[in-house]
Amino acid sequence: MHYAREIRRGAWVNAVGLVAKAALPLSYLVLTRLFGSELFGQYLLAFFIANLFGSALGTGFMNAVTIFAAPAAGDGDEAGLLDVTASALRASLGLGLGFAVLAWFVAGPFCAAIYPELHGLRTGLILLSFGMVPEMLTRVAVGLGKAHLQMRWDPLLLGLAGPTLQVLLGLGAWDMDLGLSGLFWSMFLSQTLVGVGSLMLLGRFLPLRALWSAGLSRRSGQAGLLSFGLVQSANMGVTRYASRVDVMMLGAMGMPAWQLGWYATAAMITSEIRQLRIIFAAIATPLVARAKQAGEMYALGTTLARLSRASTLLAFPTVMLAIVVLGSVLTLFDPHYTHAPFLLVLLVTPTLSCAYGLSGNFLVATGHNRMNLMNATITAVLNTGLNALLIPSHGLLGAAAATATAQAVQVALENTELWKLERVRLPVSGLLRPLVLFAPPFVLLVQTHSSDSMAGRALIATAALLLALVAHAASGLFKRQPTGGLS
C-alpha cells in the first residue's frame, strides 16, 4: 500500500489548517479583553468541566468513524459508510443529550458544593452541556471526512468557524452588557450553528435521507463501533481531565478569579501547540488502520519516526514564539497577565506531546484504545495527586509542574506499549538532534523574562527566532533518509 502522497497532502492541508485553528487562541485573547480576566476565568472553568464530561460520553466517536469508515471509504462501499455513520450518530447524540439533561438537574448542587463562590457557573454548565449535542454531530461529520482522507474540515469547522462565531456573538453580548451569561450563550449558539452547518458536510458523502433512515433502523449497527467509541470517549474524557485538572483544582482551592483566568488562558494557548502533532496524527490514523487491516505493520516504525521528527521540528519554533506571547503580548490584553515561571513550565507538556505523543495515536489506530484508556487513567490519578500536593505550597507553578510530570509518564507508557504490542518503536535518538540544535535559541529566548524593557525583550526574541530558523535548516543537512514506511 503506497500512501506517501496522501501523507504529504494531508500533512500540508493540516498545516494550512493550523492558520485557521489559530482563531481559537486569538478568540481567548479577544474575549478576555472584552469581558475581563475574572469573568473569562469562570467561563473557561465551566468550559473545561462541560467539555470533560462531553468528551467522556461521545467525542470518541469521531475517531471511531474515521477508523471504521476508512476501509469502506477506500472501497467505495456506501452501505458500509451509512452503517458506520448512522451507528456513530445514534450513539453520540443520544449520550450527549442524556448528559445535557443530567446537567440540568445536578449542575446546581455540584457548583454549590465545589465552587460556592462562583455564582454564574451553574448556568454556564447547563448551556455548555447542551451545546455538546450539536458538537457531537460536527465531530461525526469531521470524522467521516477524515475517513475519506479529507483533512480540511477539522480546522475549518472545529478550528475556524466555532471560535469566529463565538467572537462575533461575544461582541454582541458585550455590547448589550450581558456579562458572564452572555459569554456562555455565545458559545452555545456558535456550537449550534456549526452543528447545523455540518449537515452539509454529511450530505457531501452520504444521502441525508438514507442516513436518517439508517439511524432509525433497529437493524443497523456496526460490530465493534459502539464499544470502540465508548472506550475512546472514556479515554478522551480521562485525558481531558488529566490535562485540565490543574484548572479545576485551582478553582476548587479558592484561587482568585483573575489568577484562575490567567492560568487557564495560558494553559489553553499552550495546549494548542499540540495541534502540530495533530497535523500528522490526523492523516496517519486512517492510513495506519488500513495498514493494520492489510497486515503491513513492518512499515509503521519508519513512519512513526518520520512523523515524530517532523512534529518535533515544527514544535520548537512554535514554543519559542509562545514564550514571547506569554511573556509580553498577554499583558496587552489584561494588565494582570505578566511573566511568571509557571508560563515556561506550561510549555513542557505540549513539547513532550509533539515529540513523543504520536505513539498514542498509533496505539488507537491499531486497535489498542483500551491501553490508551489505562494510560490516561494512570496519568489522571497521578496528576490529581501531584496537584493536590503542589498547589497549596507552590500555587500556579505547582499546578504547571504537576501536569508536565504526568505528561512525561504518559508518553513513556505509550511508547513502551506500542513496542510491546506491535513491535513498533520510536527511536528516541532520532529526536535528540533537533532538541540539541534548538537548545541555544531556547535558552536565549527564556532571557526575555529577565529583560525589563519591551524593546529588550523584542530584540532577544527576534535573535532567538532567527537562530531557531537556522537550527531548523541545519537539522535537514544531517537528515538520514529512512527506508520503508507507508510510501
For 367-385, write each residue's pLDDT tens digit.
Answer: 777 787 888 889 999 999 9
Model confidence band, residue 45 (pLDDT cutoffs 50, 70, 90): confident
**What is the 3-state secondary structure of 262-300?**
HHHHHHHHHHHHHHHHHHHHHHHHHHHHHHHHHCCHHHH
- Average of per-residue pLDDT across 388-410: 89
Write down the pLDDT at residue 305.
Answer: 77
- Average of per-residue pLDDT across 235-251: 83
Among 221, 236, 274, CA closest to 369: 236
Of these ranges, 11-20, 55-64, 455-464, 471-480, the one predicted with the greatest mean pLDDT is: 55-64
d(CA 151, CA 66): 11
pLDDT of 417 over the 90 cut:
no
- HSE, side-chain direction, 13 A CA sphere, residue 229: 32
- Average of per-residue pLDDT across 238-253: 84
Write down the pLDDT at residue 16.
Answer: 53
Lowest mean pLDDT among 229-243, 286-300, 385-399: 286-300
133-168 per-position pLDDT tens digit: 999 999 999 989 888 878 778 878 887 888 889 889
Of these ranges, 200-214, 419-433, 434-448, 454-468, the one predicted with the greatest mean pLDDT is: 200-214
Helices (runs of H) and strands (runs of E) counted in the chain: 21, 0
pLDDT of 341 over the 60 cut:
yes
d(CA 46, CA 38): 13
- Let me know: does 276 contact 347? Beta carbons within 8 Å: no
pLDDT of 304 over the 50 cut:
yes
333-337 — which CB contacts under 8 Å span 24+ positions?
333/29, 333/32, 333/33, 334/32, 334/33, 334/36, 334/37, 334/258, 334/261, 334/262, 336/37, 336/258, 336/259, 336/261, 336/262, 337/37, 337/262, 337/265, 337/266
d(CA 393, CA 445): 28
Through-space distance between the first and last CA atoms of the chain, rounded to whole angstroms: 7
Look up the pTM and report it: 0.69
Write down the pLDDT at residue 484.
Answer: 45
- Average of per-residue pLDDT across 335-342: 72
pLDDT of 479 over the 50 cut:
no
Write down the pLDDT at residue 211.
Answer: 86
d(CA 209, CA 187): 29
- Let me know: does 84 contact 69? Beta carbons within 8 Å: yes
